[in-house]
Amino acid sequence: MAIRTSDRIAGIPHYEPGLTMAEVMDAYGLSSVVKLASNESPFPPLPEVKAVIDAGLEGLNRYPDGAARALREALADRHAVDPGQIAVGNGSCELIVHAGTALLDPGTTVIHADPSFAMYPHLAAETGAEGIAVPLAPDGGHDLDAMAAAVDERTRLVIICNPNNPTGVYRSSDEVERFLDVIPDDLAVLVDEAYYDFVAEPDRGRVSVLARTRPNLLVTRTFSKAYGLCGLRVGYGVGSEAWVRALDAVRQPFNTNQLAQVAALESLRHPHVIQARVDEAIAERDRVSAALTEMGVPFTRSHGNFILLGPPDPGMDARVLHEELLKRGIIVRDGSALGCPGTLRVTIGAPEENDAFLTALAAVAGTGQLIGDTPKP
């Protein structure tokens, strides 16, 4: 007999992760593959980070610092705020979920863009609130005017993903500030900056500065991308003390593990090395973009560590293109799983990984086997 569950369970979207490297190798009989599907860093943790992780193994019989005090203090120093204005989570995803738990009730609404990060619809479904999904602007970025127009007396939370995942489009800090100026001062706004590090615009980071003085604003970031700590799951938020108290009220007592805390803390001590890695990723993003342009592949200009692209030929089926790339050992993300049917999202990897992707894409595009039943002339 099945257990009785909340009626809300049926409405919670299922997040389908991408294929693992082992799954693809087994399915296609490959000895090696290139994974460019999950927006991970191609770089491993820094040697100094590995050292503190190794040193921390001896203490795993003890609980971690539940408040992550040392990490909060380091992040507070970096952002010139009080430690009480820093929240730490098991990845920035957890903080986003906590925001829903803390702020939403049945009868309230949460506003987010669509398509955007797949976690946002979970918040309404889990809390019994109503999710208001606002279509993106024609350029693939947030339509902030439409999002502001969707705010009413029921709205308790607005989420802005900047740069947006999966399109990679960035809204300037001036645009975000104008949005904040036209909505109620007591309406909670969460700006998800998971891909902030890869923005090459001069105003990068200014939204987090706004969080020092805007009580309704929380900016979340992650150590998963630029810092290469996806597997340890640690993220943080910068906002008002009221925001942080709300998140802390609903989090588990030991929500970030000890190794994640020391790894993140040590990573913060090496900003120049991390920035050099980011610069390499940006350079590779530009190189891949130039190659796609030369091949005639349509894509959206990205400010993240990924590119959303369409098939090289309008007659190609993106799902079949995805399959053909898998056969060649290249794992990318099918845009259908991200709310962008007809596209593929490709993570920027190491140079040799990007070369392998471009070579495979060119080979597939040149075969003509994807153009329906009609051979390409």
Q: What pLDDT, on the 0 to 100 scale, is given for residue 1?
A: 63
| Total Cβ atoms within 10 A of residue 273 | 14
Query: What is the model's pLDDT at position 330?
Result: 97
What's the pTM value of the predicted model, to 2 decimals?
0.94
The CATH label, of 1.10.1060.10, 1.25.40.340, 3.20.20.70, 3.90.1150.10, for the domain at 7-44+272-367 is 3.90.1150.10
Q: List the alpha helices (DSSP H) in 128-238.
A: 144-149, 173-182, 206-210
Assign domain 49-269 to its CATH architecture.
3-Layer(aba) Sandwich (3.40)
Cα–Cα–Cα angle for 24, 26, 27, rounded to 5 degrees? 65
Confidence (pLDDT) at 214: 96
Positions of CATH 3.40.640.10 in the chain: 49-269
> In the chain, which segments carry CATH 3.90.1150.10?
7-44+272-367
Distance separating alpha carbons of residues 112 and 132, to the nearest angstrom: 6
Tokens of 160: 């802005």
Give the pLDDT score at 320: 93
Q: Amino acid identity of 139?
A: D
pLDDT digits (tens, 9 = 90+) for 81-116: 999 999 999 999 999 999 999 999 999 999 999 999
Segments of the chain with pLDDT less than 70: 1, 367-377
- Tens digits of residue pLDDT in 336-370: 999 999 999 999 999 999 999 999 999 998 744 44
